[in-house]
Structure 1
Amino acid sequence: MSATRRQVLATGASVAGIAFTGAVSELFAGTAVAQEMGRSGYGPLVPDPDGLLDLPKGFRYRVLSRTGDALRSGEGEVPSNPDGMAAFAGRRGRVHLVRNHENRFDGKIGVPTVDGLTYDPMGKGGCTALELDGRNHVIGERVAIAGTAVNCAGGPTPWGTWLTCEETEDKAGTNGYTKDHGFIFEVDGADPHRSGAVPLKAMGRFQHEAIAIDPREGIVYETEDAFEKPFGLFYRFLPEKPRGGLGSLRAGGTLEAMRVPGVPDLSAIQEPGASFDRIEWVPVPDTQAKETPIRLQDFGKKGITHAQKLEGCYWGDRSVYFVSSFAKSAEGSAADHYGQVWKYEPHRRRLTLVIAFGPDTDIQMPGESPDNICLAPSGGLMVCEDGGGAQHVYGLTRDGELYEMARGADNIGTPEEPEWGEFAGVTFAPDGETMYVNSYTPGTTFAVTGPWRRR
């Protein structure tokens, strides 16, 4: 398919539009959501007179941080490219907001190096941590980890830390790096020096995207967003210390990759509800990819299962859900699609295609390239958009109704050719009263409050 979803929307197409099929309610199973959502959305978006963020009537935002401003710690400037993010409860009603910075080796503002928190002084990625009071006033902002690279997404742990993932597999000597990259690092937003800058090497060295943890078994599920064929794998990490706690993942464990018997490429599966039992997990031959990237290694005669654009994943209903954002046969995938949501049930060893985005249905889904997602206080999802043209945060109810929640209003292009930065890292405060979200360019972190409907 050569047309993007946004191009289809622009034509006004209806029959050959791009939308989804499948059971949307699957995405919210086991999350204690309300059974009746009531009306969807919060009304039309109101243009922001300050030209930063359009929101529905009754909602307001506070700018917490902008790239180039001074960090309150005095350690340097707020770095570029804020991406994945999570919020954790602190003492006395405070919130610790841990924020990735997806910096490569280019000229963007890197995360300042700090003694005890820097992995590779030539890496410009990392995390910063904001401390907020109960009214979303910033009372602290500091480096949480530095010297990493391309920190895209990650995920929270059950014990209240953030696992930040490097979406690269560059080795020492490449692009000026002094150490190998492609690891996961644990970050304690409340006290970063407790976590330090230690790569969790047993969890693999590859182009990491996101993680989700089974809170009962302690198993960590990992997605790989590889940029060229053969595409990424879906992994699980069985830790030596499954009971968890800060630093427990350093004890090591076993890394395995998923094999779906008879399915070398998940994009070939197009029918929602398609299910596969007896899923196999194959030990990774060389977790450090010393000579060969993991996805290219020899997994035996039966091979291994690949998928293009494996990105977000989260845990719910005794299952892990993970997303393939799109697949293009022109780039090497077995088939085309505009997005898949898969569900793996460990207790049944069963994999099911829950939702498929594709042609010949409807056109009412988020514009182009849905990316980061999180559960909303109402029980639905919030979805960040990452594509061309106007950029939105969309809400999706468990009944499959879509509504606009926010729209970027900061034009980084020209009046003749406007452009807006993607959204990333959407997350909610522990009490559900505030939505936090990043505008990737120009780097801005917002706190959005208003009449949120609750469960």
Structure 2
Amino acid sequence: MPASGSVSRRRLLAGTGAVGAGIAFSGAVEQLFAGDADAAVPIGGRDGYGPLVPDPKGVLDLPRGFRYTVLSREGEPLRSGEGPVPSHCDGMAAFPRPAGGTWLVRNHENRPDAEHRVPPAKGLTYDPGALGGCTALEVDRAGRVRTERVAIAGTAVNCAGGPTPWHTWLTCEETEDKAGTGGYTKDHGFIFEVDPYRRDGTVPEPLTAMGRFQHEAIAVDPRDGAVYETEDAFEKPFGLFYRFLPEKPKGGAGSLRAGGRLEALRVPDVPDLSVVRKPGTVFERVEWLPVPDPLARETPIRFQDFGTGGITHAQKLEGCYWGGDRVYFVSSYARTKDGSGADHFGQVWSYEPSRRRLTLVIVFGPDADVEAPGESPDNICIAPEGGLMVCEDGGGAQHVYGVTRRRTVYPMARNRQNIGREGKPEWGEFAGVTFSRDRRTTMFVNVYEPGTTFAVTGPWDRR
């Protein structure tokens, strides 16, 4: 999920003469915000938890009153004894623990050069030549890690994914590499289902009907079981937004293996979503076209022939989640230099299945202090008070930031772990932000590099 080829915000703003301006957004998420949809609101304001307090340990800056616990760090021993904690902690979800507390399922976006692979656990490994997969952490109600083990291994470049209504995790491979590439013995580019509560030694099966492409994230419509999927293709033509209609809607764990129909979104006369700039723009009665070859046996799906009118693409389609009666998905950025139709610093879209209506709800762009958070939104989830919590994946300082019902943006966390060198600092992106479902609100979040999983507690009701 790293923003491949990302250009720093400061450099881009300098090129537009906008240095001294920064990142704000305009627009309104329908269920979460209210007010003028065209007004730009600067970052900060009275709706946050206050300014970030520098962490004396140089790990994680948080607002006053909040504290963090490091649950897991790459390279340290897994509590199961299976090997070291794998590298590149990415997408994640929290599930309720029957005895109180939380089960976390955490992706590891490992490519063939990863330092710490996901150990190839017996009965849980799809392809011994692949280094990615997921780990599961059991956190008790006191916030202590009880167990930490491999949940699936032998998959590749596990970026994000999403939870299902039946409390399993769909982990997504962000690659299209086939057997014989990079040491792989099987084809990759699939979705796999992971059950955090079970470890039965069943060899993982790819959900082939859901497509073989550079998967990023998914969201499930709890009403009919439709699965929405984003594709983060790195080169033009860019990725598509998909819908999978399962043969067994809401069938429970394992039901997606029964197959279904994969479709791709087409907005008539809009081949590239980046050209849409005005928040609140609505497209009525958009179309869903059947994917000719979901397995991409010869041709990647985004290159396939969808007939007259073509198909709609977008650069950096990443975060995806379900809220209310619609699915939200993120385009982290678009760059004309990469082949997009326009430049932007991030978009959030919503699609309402009942009306077949697509809406551009938020646009990020240069408007305020360049040191403030707000570039390249990526993983995204609902915050405790009903707004959004967004992971930043861009250049420079990396934040988790919130977007309130009042449409102000506030910093929630800043990564202080410097992975650069003296005089040229760098900070790894945040990923996998999610919240516990037990009596004590806890924000769980990953830092991609060095792979670190945090639990953040504090006065979440202060706002």
TM-score of the pair, normalised by structure 1: 0.93
Two-structure CA RMSD over aligned residues (Å): 2.2
Is the CA contact (8 Å cut-off) linking 1:94 and 1:134 kept in structure 2? yes
Residue 115 of structure 1, CA deviation:
1.3
Task: Work out the CA distance in 1 between the residues paired with 2:457 and 2:227.
Answer: 32
Structure 1 window deviating more from structure 2 (326-335 vs 181-190): it is 326-335
Identity %: 72
Cα separation, partners in 2 of 1:422 and 1:81, compared to 1, 3 Å: same
Taking the TM superposition and a 5 Å limit, the aligned residue runs for 1:212-223 are: 212-223=219-230
Q: 1:78 aligns with which of 79, 85, 93?
A: 85
Q: 1:89 aligns with which of 68, 73, 96?
A: 96
Cα separation, partners in 2 of 1:351 and 1:105, compared to 1, 3 Å: same
Residue 14 of structure 1, CA deviation:
7.6
Task: Work out the CA distance in 2 between the residues paired with 1:362 and 1:409.
Answer: 22
Task: Work out the CA distance in 2 between the residues paired with 1:322 and 1:348.
Answer: 17
Q: 2:344 aligns with which of 324, 337, 362?
A: 337
Structure 1 window deviating more from structure 2 (20-29 vs 400-409): it is 20-29
Structure 1 window deviating more from structure 2 (203-212 vs 335-344): it is 335-344
2:216 counterpart of 1:209: yes
Q: Unaligned regions of 5+ residues in structure 2, if any?
A: 1-5, 35-44
2:412 alignment partner in structure 1: 405
2:430 counterpart of 1:423: yes
Task: Work out the CA distance in 2 between the residues paired with 1:71 and 1:83.
Answer: 17
Q: 1:5 aligns with which of 9, 22, 25?
A: 9
Task: Work out the CA distance in 1 between the residues paired with 2:217 and 2:32.
Answer: 17
1:227 alignment partner in structure 2: 234
Q: What do residues 74-130 of structure 1 show as CA deviations (whole Å, max 9, x unaligned)?
A: 111100000000010011103100000000011421100011110000110000000
Residue 144 of structure 1, CA deviation:
0.3
Q: What do residues 349-391 of structure 1 show as CA deviations (whole Å, max 9, x unaligned)?
A: 11111122235x5558734322111111122111111122222
Task: Work out the CA distance in 1 between the residues paired with 2:398 and 2:364.
Answer: 19
Is the CA contact (8 Å cut-off) linking 2:316 and 2:334 kept in structure 1? yes
2:448 alignment partner in structure 1: 440
Taking the TM superposition and a 5 Å limit, the aligned residue runs for 1:283-298 are: 283-298=290-305
2:25 alignment partner in structure 1: 20
Is the CA contact (8 Å cut-off) linking 1:66 and 1:444 kept in structure 2? yes
Task: Work out the CA distance in 2 between the residues paired with 1:10 and 1:452.
Answer: 37
2:454 counterpart of 1:450: no
Q: Partner of 2:209: helix, strand, or coil? A: helix
1:115 alignment partner in structure 2: 122
> Which letter does structure 1 place at the counterpart of 2:28?
A
Q: Partner of 1:330: helix, strand, or coil? A: helix
Is the CA contact (8 Å cut-off) linking 2:96 and 2:102 kept in structure 1? yes
2:373 counterpart of 1:366: yes
Residue 146 of structure 1, CA deviation:
0.3
2:280 alignment partner in structure 1: 273
Taking the TM superposition and a 5 Å limit, the aligned residue runs for 1:304-319 are: 304-319=311-326
> Which letter does structure 1 place at the counterpart of 2:206?
P
2:186 alignment partner in structure 1: 179
Task: Work out the CA distance in 1 between the residues paired with 2:12 and 2:290.
Answer: 42
Q: Unaligned regions of 5+ residues in structure 1, if any?
A: 30-37
Residue 196 of structure 1, CA deviation:
4.5
Task: Work out the CA distance in 2 between the residues paired with 1:342 and 1:394.
Answer: 18
Structure 1 window deviating more from structure 2 (223-232 vs 191-200): it is 191-200
Residue 13 of structure 1, CA deviation:
4.5
> Which letter does structure 2 place at the counterpart of 1:158?
P
Q: Partner of 1:92: helix, strand, or coil? A: coil
2:165 alignment partner in structure 1: 158
> Which letter does structure 1 place at the counterpart of 2:234?
F
Task: Work out the CA distance in 1 between the residues paired with 2:396 and 2:345.
Answer: 17
Is the CA contact (8 Å cut-off) linking 2:23 and 2:373 kept in structure 1? no
Is the CA contact (8 Å cut-off) linking 1:378 and 1:454 kept in structure 2? no
Structure 1 window deviating more from structure 2 (394-403 vs 76-85): it is 394-403
Residue 181 of structure 1, CA deviation:
0.2
Is the CA contact (8 Å cut-off) linking 1:212 and 1:315 kept in structure 2? yes
Task: Work out the CA distance in 2 between the residues paired with 1:287 and 1:182.
Answer: 11
Q: Partner of 2:460: helix, strand, or coil? A: coil
Is the CA contact (8 Å cut-off) linking 1:426 and 1:436 kept in structure 2? yes
